[in-house]
Every structure is written in C-alpha cells, then in structure tokens.
A and B are shown apart, each in its own frame.
Chain A
Amino acid sequence: MLAGSHGAGTAFAMRLVVRAAKATGAARLIDITGAHVDSCLYHGKATMDFVDRLADGEARVSVPTTLNVGALDLLHPELYRGDRRTATAGRKLMNRYRALGARPTYTCAPYQLVDARPALGAQVAWGESNAIAFCNSVLGARTNRYGDFLDIGAAITGRVPDAGLHRTEERRATLVLRLADDVPAALRDSDVLFPVLGIVLGRRAGSSVAVIDGLARGQSEDRLKALGAAAASSGSVAMFHVTGSTPEAASLDDALQRRPPEAVELIRLADLRAARDELSTTSGERLAAVALGTPHASLAELERYAVMLGGRRVHDDVECLVSTGRDVMATAAERGITERLREAGVELLVDTCSYVAPTLRASSGPVMTDSGKWAYYAPGNIGAAVVFGSTAECIRSAVAGRVVLDLEPWGGA
C-alpha cells in the first residue's frame, strides 16, 4: 500500500497509519472490522485539502464506515444560521466523505445504530471522543483515540497499529475512583450525576483507564454515554470501567485484571458539587434556549423528553433544540415521537450538533443543557452562557420560560 499499488490516496492513508505506528511504538499493524470517521466536520480549508488529496488519489474505505456529525443538518438546512460559505464548504466536505464509501450516518452516537455496533472484543478505529469512550467502555470493542485524518486513514487501509487499547493489558484500570459515603443515595440514582461524575473522571484520570466503584449495577447506556462524553471533554479518557455496568468490569477485580491499582481515590459530594457548579457559566432565572441531545439523543431519550413534557408546550420565549441522529429520528418518527415533540414546540436537529453548528437563535444564551460535554464546549465554540441542569430541570425550565433548578438530589446545595 505504501508503494502506491492501491493508488496514491491509499498510500497517503498508509503513511499516516505507519506514522501512528511509529509514534505509539507498535511492532505491527492489525486488521480492523469497522471505522467511525470524525473527519467530515469542516474545520477550515485544510480539512477540504486533505479529503481532496485522498479523493484525487482514488482512495475508498475498505471496511464498513460510519460518519460523525458534519457542519450542518443536511435534512433541515434552513436551521443553519451561520455564514453561507462555511455551510457550502461543510456540506461539500460531508459529501466528499460519503463519496469515499462511508455511510452517511452523520451522528456522534454510531453505537445507537443496531447494525453499526461492534461486538465485544472487536478491533475497530473510531474517531469522536465520546464515541471512542463508549466503544471501549460500554461495548467492549477496541479502539484508540483516532483523531481526524487517522480515522479515515484506518478506514481506507483497514489497519491500525497494534498498540494501546487494542491490547488487553492496556485496558486494565489503574485508578479506582470510589464514591464516598457522603454522596446521597438520591444522587447516586439520579441521571444528573453522570455528566458531573464524568467531568470529575476526566480531571482525575487524564488519559489513564479508571474504574468507578460504588454505583448500583446495570447502569443504562444513556447514563454511561453521558458519563463518557463528559470525561472525554474534561480529560483524554478513551476508556473507563463502571463496576457491575461495563462489560470488562463484572467485578472490581475484573476491571483491575486481578492486579493492585496504582491509586484509589474517593469522590466526595463536595467534589461533585464543585464540578457541577463549574459547568454553569451564568446564574439567575433568565433563559433563552434549552439544548438537549449531546451526544445525540437515543430513541429512549427522545421518548423521555416527550413523556416529561406530558402535553405541555415549550414557553414561547424559549428555543428548545434537541440534537439526534437521522436514523434515530427516522425510527422516532415512525413511532410518533417526533410529532409529539414538534407539537410541544421542540425543534429537532440532525447530522450536526447545536454547539458545533450555528443553529440557536439566541446562541449567546443563557442556554440550559443537561450535557456535560455541551456545557464544557459551548462557551468557547459558540459563545453561549450556560446553565447546567438535569434533563428534568431542562424540560421544566423550557416550559416555565425561566431556569428552574432542583437541589434535592444534591443534598440541598
């Protein structure tokens, strides 16, 4: 491949894979069975120059490949409020990746697509930090953090360096993070814990593998998604374990691969409250918008929003935007969920995300979100003032037209 027998584009892709192998000290390359490519989000002309080089060199993906979010919603382009030239370039880039043979899923949650979920132990190459964390931690499939360019390089060559999280021993937790006794039972069993715990996990673990101990067994995929997305924002977390909930951590001992941890740390209520408070950049009751669905809302989450709204409408002064994948939206539409949401005044955004694309009318906010990742990135990306809250708080606030918080699960503070 390097010599160009598969074409100049494939040779370029292989040079990147080989460069990665050298950087990671891998002795060999291994085959992958799938890829998830994040490179289709436009970040300026360099991203176009890159895909042009691949396409001009007649490269094609060699394994089943899903695509991450792009710069705009191709199904609802009218929702784009930014510069027209960027929108045109963003659309062109998305189509370029499709033309390389990738599936136009345009979602940051490819793990929600039944036919795109790699099996336990499968070797894959995924981009998008939340998807990487979910793939390793929740699916038990194996990927490293494949950034832009290398993700498509792996998809084209079908190879990755045999290093890092592709190897069993590297998946061992070295850090135990234990919930302290002062974390109230109500918080332990609350959805709002997970993005906040994720922020703490990212800070403490950095790029190492940690195991969270002390939660009830069998936590839902949506909670683990929120946890991983936040951890991959505040740190470089590519894999975590949750005792009793993730497949390589049936027990604490399994997560540690029967070796002693390098460190055991407690997470106290005060740590969680501090992380929660840090996610909000503004306070007060004023509310311009509510952004849900980061990472992309699952079918279960879309249904939950509809149930929580319970026939009430979003306040006229508030914009409520839910991001999801086009495939999940299609299923939700078949079940009448999208109609219920739209009737309640909720806007649905696919193929992109409300902190990536200029879609919010009042992007400066205050915007309320239930996502640790959205709260983490939106201030820098779109200049939004953010109020973080639980999904229930977000919905209640959207209806009320003002920020309504509930400190009950947090022990009142």
Chain B
Amino acid sequence: MTVVTGRALVLDEPLSLWGGMDPGTGRLIDPHHPQRGAVVTGRVVVMRSGKGSSSSASILAESVRAGTAPAAFLLAEPDLILEIGSAVAEELYGIRVPVHVITEERARRIADGAELRIGPRGGLGRSQVSGPSRTRSSR
C-alpha cells in the first residue's frame, strides 16, 4: 500500500467515464461536460459522484492498462462502478487507483490544481487528504 499523490482536478459536474473520457488519451470528451478537454492522467479527480453508464468500470480498467488513468478519485458519494473498475485493474495489472469517499464539505474545500497526498489507509470515508493548496490552479 502506497501513498498516492497528484494534483487535484476538481470537476464541476459528475462524469461518466464511458462516453466521457478517452482511455487512449485520458482526455475528457463529453461535450455536455463543462471541463471537456481536460486530461485526467495522474490527477486526483474530485467530483460529487460518478454517473451514467455502467461501462465506466471498463474504461477505468482500460485507462489503467494504457497508463492514462487518474491517480485517484475523491467522491462525495460512494460509486460502486468506479470501485469495481479499480479492483479489476489492480487484479489484472497490479496498479491501484484508490476511490475514496469524502464529505461534500471537504470536497468543496479542495482547490483545482492543489497538490494532494492521500494516505495509504484511506478506505471509504477515511481518506486522508492533506495540504490542499488554494494558491495553485490549472484553469
């Protein structure tokens, strides 16, 4: 179990990975999403919840295989689909993309672009987010 670090990518709206992210490039392709064009690779994706297609688990696993996956997800609601995608990727490729649930309040305090460090025991509801800087932004 390792510590995961990455810059936050705070999504203004929930994202369906299937139809919403190209696993070949890690780029957001959902034309309905306000952050279309952003790249999730290596970022800690912060969003309220997952949404939409049940194929998102496959897209997550494929992005892990292709090396375009986010470093982690921080969600305000549990998302079984991302959780399972992450579990399968770990079984197949030995790479872990943690999916943690944090309170909505906490999620709101994370600034886009902030460097995040997620502790090794950050299970559901117990993720350890430290030092979200408010001074950096990628947008």
Contacts and interface: CB of A to CB of B under 8 A. Distances in A.
Interface centre among B14, B18, B89, by most chain A C-beta atoms within 10 angstroms, is: B18
B83 A39 contact: no
Interface in B2-52: 14, 16, 18-20, 23, 29-32, 49-52
A46 B31 contact: no
Contacts of A22: 124
B68 to A, nearest CB: 11
Interface string A343-386: 00000000000000000000000000000000011011100000
Nearest to A164: B80
Interface stretch (B57-65, B103-111, B114-122): B57-65
A147 B84 contact: yes
B129 interface: no
A248 interface: no
A281 interface: yes
A49 B87 CA distance: 14
Interface stretch (A75-83, A213-221, A229-237, A305-313): A229-237
Contact of B31 (A41, A50, A380): A380
Interface in A205-254: 206-207, 232-236
B61 A236 contact: no
A22 B101 CA distance: 13
A349 B51 CA distance: 27
A301 interface: no
B14 to A, nearest CB: 7
B58 A19 contact: no
A43 B49 contact: no
B87 A380 contact: no
B80 A145 contact: yes
A128 B54 contact: yes
Given A23-B124, A145-B80, A46 B58 contact: yes
A106 to B, nearest CB: 15
A151 B32 CA distance: 28
Given A236-B50, A377-B19, A380-B30, A46 B92 contact: yes
A278 B33 CA distance: 12
B49 to A, nearest CB: 6
A46 B55 contact: no
Interface centre among B19, B54, B62, B91, by most chain A C-beta atoms within 10 angstroms, is: B54
Contact of A144 (B23, B30, B32, B80): B80
Contacts of B85: 147-149
Contact of A49 (B23, B80, B92): B92
Given A53-B91, A53-B92, A47 B52 contact: no
Nearest to B101: A23
Contacts of B53: 129, 233, 377
A397 B58 CA distance: 37
B56 A19 contact: no
Contact of B78 (A16, A23, A147): A23
B66 to A, nearest CB: 7
Contact of A44 (B19, B50, B65, B124): B65
A342 to B, nearest CB: 30
A153 B83 CA distance: 14
A44 B66 contact: yes
Contacts of A235: 51-52
Contacts of B65: 44-46, 49
A16 B88 contact: yes
6 contacts: A38-B55, A46-B61, A46-B62, A46-B92, A206-B49, A234-B51
Among all A-B residue pairs, the 9 with the closest Cβ atoms: A147-B81, A44-B62, A43-B58, A147-B57, A46-B61, A46-B62, A147-B54, A148-B58, A148-B57
Interface of B: 14, 16, 18-20, 23, 29-32, 49-59, 61-62, 64-66, 77-78, 80-81, 83-85, 87-89, 91-93, 124
Given A15-B91, A149-B88, 16 more contacts: A44-B66, A46-B88, A47-B62, A49-B65, A50-B88, A145-B81, A147-B85, A148-B57, A150-B81, A206-B51, A233-B52, A233-B53, A234-B52, A376-B19, A377-B53, A380-B32
Interface of A: 12, 15-16, 19-20, 22-24, 38-39, 41, 43-47, 49-50, 53, 127-129, 132, 144-151, 153, 202, 206-207, 232-236, 278, 281, 376-377, 379-381
